[in-house]
Amino acid sequence: MITKDTAEPKLEFAGASPYDRYVKASVLTALQEPWSEDPAEMAFLVTTQVMELWFTLLVHEWRTARDALAQDRAQDALAALHRSLPQLTALNASWTPIASLTPGQFNSYRAALGEGSGFQSAMYRHLEFLLGDKSASLLQPHRGVPRVHAELEAALHSPSLYDAVLAHLARQGFEVPAEVLERDLSQRYEPHPGVEAVWTRIYADLRHEKLVELGEALTDVAELVGRWRTDHLLATRRAMGSKQGTGGSAGVAWLEKRANKIVFPELWTARSYV
């Protein structure tokens, strides 16, 4: 007699298996095409492709949170932000296979990258735009792919996650400065003392427990993004020192500048006044 414990899994399907149709595993595992003869290049290629998938998921979660806040559905926004935290942790862990490359190891396939650089990642640019770090000039590398360029241009002019947070706070009765709420959304967000005062008020009053929870979820995101940037800097410094980056950037000097940028700045500075 066949029972649930002894039944064999179904092995025959017409066409691709249901698993492959859903996960597209055969597509994913066919995307690795090393451009050098060095077998170690495969680890670099797979690692960066995995990072792209994490970027895609994080953009999805933060867009979900932003759109929920636009409708004042704070709990749905919190759920998305909380989901994104282990995802960010996993993204940061993605550095592990390539974090300790020596210059010689990296140089063995660096030439294959040519002018390629993670700086040119469209999905990472979406992620940074959602964090409020915007610049129209950063659309330039994507002009050759009209669909991607159009999507990024739309993201440039759309509210960031933090813009949605501040608009939500304003609708809850907090005095978010008008110049912040009405600012040019295509510009990089800059810290404002009026926003710092709003967060100070929220954190100083125990009645604002739910908004503190929102603030802490955003702070967790900011902290993990900061670690990502620092890990990127350290891995690059270890692999190539202060040489120019593969995409023509200043390399480590550029990454140092990025690592010093604080995400959601007033959430950090307000703590000094609570």
CA distance 265 to 222: 9
The tokens for 69 are 């806040």
The tokens for 74 are 């704070």
Residue 55 makes CB contacts below 8 A (sequence gap 6+) with 91, 121, 123, 124, 126, 127
Known binding residue 110? Answer is: yes
Taking alpha carbons only, the member of 115, 133, 113, 137 closest to residue 229 is: 133
The tokens for 181 are 């709420």
Residue type at 177 in one-letter notation:
P
Rg (CA), the chain: 22
By the 8 A CB rule, do 221 and 227 touch?
A: no
Q: Residue 271 burial by CB count (10 A; 0-12/13-18/19+): exposed, middle or buried?
A: middle
Known binding residue 237? Answer is: no
CA 39 to chain CA centroid, Å, is 29
CA distance 111 to 93: 26
By the 8 A CB rule, do 199 and 216 touch?
A: no
Known binding residue 246? Answer is: yes
First to last CA, the chain: 70
Binding residues for heme: 232
Q: Which residues are documented as binding site?
A: 110, 232, 246
User: Residues annotated as binding site for substrate?
Assistant: 110, 246
